[in-house]
Amino acid sequence: MARFLVIRLSALGDVAISVPLISALAEQYPEHDFTVLSQPKMAGLFDACPSNVYFYEADIYGKHKGFFGLYRLFREIGAKNVDIICDIHDVIRTRIICFFFSLHGIPLFRIHKERENRRRLTRRKKKKLVRLTTSFQHYRNVFDKAGFLLNDFNTRPKMEPSRMLLPEMEKIVGIKQTYWLGFAPFARHKAKMYPLVKFEEVLACFAADDRFTVYLFGGGKDEMVQMQKWKTTYPAVKLPCCNGISEEIRLISCLDLMVTMDSANMHLGSLAHTPVISIWGATHPYAGFYGLFQPEENAVQLPLSCRPCSIFGNKPCYRNDYACLNEIRPKQLIEAIYQACGLSTGIPDF
DSSP state of 133: P
SS3 36: strand
Q: What is the pLDDT of residue 133?
A: 97
Alpha carbons 101 and 74: distance in angstroms, whole number: 7
Q: Distance of alpha carbon 141 from its chain centroid, rounded?
A: 19
Q: What does the alpha-carbon distance between residue 324 and residue 282 come to, in Å, rounded to a whole number? A: 7
Q: What is the CATH number of domain 3-145?
A: 3.40.50.2000
166-341 is classed CATH 3.40.1000.10: no
Closest by CA position to 338, among listed 158, 209, 197: 209
Tens-binned pLDDT, residue by residue, of the chain (350 aa): 899 999 999 999 999 999 999 999 999 999 999 999 999 999 999 999 999 999 999 999 999 999 999 999 999 999 999 999 999 999 999 999 999 999 999 999 999 999 999 999 999 988 889 999 999 999 999 999 999 999 877 666 778 899 999 999 999 999 999 999 999 999 999 999 999 999 999 999 999 999 999 999 998 899 999 999 999 999 999 998 888 999 999 999 999 999 999 999 999 999 999 999 999 999 999 999 999 999 999 999 999 999 999 999 999 999 999 999 999 999 999 999 999 999 876 444 44
Provide CB contacts within 8 A for 38, sequence distance 6+: 7, 8, 9, 10, 15, 55, 56, 57, 58
- Which segments of the chain belong to CATH 3.40.50.2000? 3-145, 166-341
pLDDT at res. 321: 96
pLDDT number for residue 125: 87
Backbone φ and ψ of 214, nearest 5°? -100, 125
Query: 86 - beta bridge partners?
Result: 6, 109
Q: What is the pLDDT of residue 297?
A: 93
Write down the pLDDT at residue 272: 95
pTM of the model: 0.93
**To 10 degrees, what angle do helices 92-102 and 66-77 make?**
50
Q: Classify strands 84-87 and 3-7 as parallel, antiparallel or unpaired.
A: parallel
**What is the helix, strand, coil percentage profile of the chain, to 5?**
40, 15, 45
